[in-house]
């Protein structure tokens, strides 16, 4: 793999002082994802969807076969440093793959705060929980489904909803079928 090229930069929805970006990879990296998962040990790998989510020093990075999305990035320089690290990591892991066992386990759940920051944050309690944070804890543990939060379906939360549903789906959480085609964040 030679290049990961940034094709879009937007404000981060989870943290307005940061950015998110979308980049494309010049090679299909599906084959190397289980080996990256082995090397990282604490990633969220979804073998069915061919996605690998990494939390790196507070940044949330998701790898797809030919794309990378990332949120909570400091600035464009930080984005480029992350992509340089990723490129080296992917290439080094690919070269070592014959000495490694592929790992198909998910290992980690999403962090509560990763989910919470993409919820409406209005603590309306309509979901039966005392607050959005309580709901995020339950959702993180897969004790409730995202559809219990009716407010997230309001137009005001369209951007957050798309990003949250993409994050949940890519991390192997249950998401309504109607939202499986969203390309938010990519
Ligand atoms: S229904 Fe949604 S907005 Fe209301 S408290 Fe629950 S998670 Fe928060």
In a domain, 145, yes or no: yes
Measured in degrees and rounded to the nearest 5, phi and psi for residue 36 equal -65, -40
* Cα-to-centroid distance, 118 and ligand 1 (Å): 11
Ligand 1 lined by 139 (C-beta under 6 Å): no
Please name the residue whose Cα sits nearest to atom 6 of ligand 1: 127
Ligand 1 lined by 134 (C-beta under 6 Å): no
* Mean pLDDT within 120-135: 96
**Across all residues in the chain, what is the average pLDDT?**
90
Residue 65 and residue 152 share a domain: no
Give the position of tokens 């995020």.
136
In a domain, 148, yes or no: yes
* Cα-to-centroid distance, 52 and ligand 1 (Å): 28
In a domain, 104, yes or no: no
* Cα-to-centroid distance, 89 and ligand 1 (Å): 39
Token pair in block for residue 157: 């939360």
Token pair in block for residue 39: 């090397």
Stretch among 2-6, 11-15, 110-114, 177-181 having the lowest mean pLDDT: 177-181
User: pTM of the entire structure?
Assistant: 0.80
Burial level of 161, CB count in 10 A (0-12/13-18/19+)? buried
Which contiguous run of DSSP H or E holds residue 56?
Answer: strand 51-56
Ligand 1 lined by 74 (C-beta under 6 Å): no
Is the predicted pLDDT of residue 124 greater than 90, yes or no? yes
Domain span at 32: 4-99
């Amino acid at each position: 793999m030679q290049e990961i090229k940034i094709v879009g930069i937007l404000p981060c929805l989870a943290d307005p002082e940061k950015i998110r970006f979308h980049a494309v990879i010049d090679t299909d990296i599906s084959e190397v994802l289980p080996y990256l998962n082995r090397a990282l040990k604490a990633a969220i790998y979804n073998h069915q969807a061919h996605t690998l989510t990494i939390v790196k020093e507070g940044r949330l990075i998701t790898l797809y076969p030919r794309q990378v999305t990332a949120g909570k990035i400091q600035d464009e320089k930080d984005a480029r440093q992350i992509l340089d690290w990723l490129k080296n990591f992917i290439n080094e892991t690919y070269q070592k793959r014959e000495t490694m066992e592929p790992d198909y386990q998910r290992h980690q759940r999403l962090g509560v705060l990763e989910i919470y920051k993409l919820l409406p944050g209005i603590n309306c309690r309509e979901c039966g929980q005392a607050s959005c944070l309580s709901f995020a804890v339950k959702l993180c543990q897969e004790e409730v489904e995202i559809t219990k939060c009716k407010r997230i379906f309001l137009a005001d939360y369209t951007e957050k909803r798309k990003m949250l549903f993409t994050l949940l789906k890519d991390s192997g959480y249950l998401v309504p079928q109607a939202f499986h085609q969203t390309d938010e964040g990519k």
